[in-house]
Amino acid sequence: MDRGYQDRFDAGRQLATHLQAYANRPDVLILALPRGGVPVAFAVTSILHAPLDVFLVRKLGVPGQEELAMGAIATGNIRVLNHEVVQALRLSEQTIEHITREEQRELERRERLYRGDRPPPEIHNRIVILIDDGLATGASMRAAVLAARQQHPARLVVAVPVAAPSVCAELLTEADEVICASTPEPFFGVGQWYYNFAQTSDQEVHALLERARHFPSVAGRSG
């Protein structure tokens, strides 16, 4: 890669070249982390001919220290807790449930916005490829991997156009395969590697998911 990717669609097209082993397979499901991961995944799914959906993750922040995660929730009524943080801070079950409900409301709002009335995708026994536009800290992707793992996919793959090398290495301990198309050193942030890194809107996410539903798919279903 020279200076970077033109935009997220360009990044997706280039990422797809690293995912050819998963092309035209009926058991593959591509899940994008919204919002920035959706245009990348849209380009990938158009090339691999696999169904596309979103996989939403919401961090459960510690009260008063919201940047510190005590866990995360994700698509499919999945909750993952960091028991070390919960125990160290002596967080009560009541506190955890309150924060979970707050974040669950936001997650459900976004799911309705993006997916409408369609149910969450079936992950069990499928090859799941989790895609984002890049990884800086990897916190959201790590939560997504842990949450998706609870639904017992046959294989769990993380694929991103650009990432910090250390984050790719760390994710290898949790995913079955990690594909980071570019791992520049030094790493200054995901946006530095895109000529156009304009924010993806909720409307664009919804529109891309709708367009992807009409792509020919060897699976013959959208999940």
The reply to whether CATH 3.40.50 applies to domain 58-115 is no
d(CA 147, CA 141): 10
CA dihedral of residues 132, 136, 138, 139 (deg, nearest 10):
-110
In the chain, which residues fall in CATH 3.30.1310? 58-115
Task: Provide, rounded to the nearest whole percent, the portion of the chain with pLDDT above 90.
Answer: 72
Q: Residue 222, SS3?
A: coil
State pLDDT tens for residues 162-200.
Answer: 999 999 999 999 999 999 999 998 888 899 999 999 999
99 closest CA partner among 43, 60, 141: 60
**pLDDT band for position 137 (50/70/90)?**
confident
Structure tokens at 213: 């539903």
- Amino acid of residue 124: H
Q: Is 95 left (phi over 0), alpha (psi -120 to 50) or beta?
A: alpha
Residues 130 and 22 sit within 8 Å (Cβ to Cβ): no
CATH of domain 8-56+122-212: 3.40.50.2020
The model's pTM is 0.88
Give the pLDDT of residue 44.
Answer: 98
Other residues' Cβ atoms within 10 Å of the Cβ of residue 6: 13
In the chain, which residues fall in CATH 3.40.50.2020? 8-56+122-212
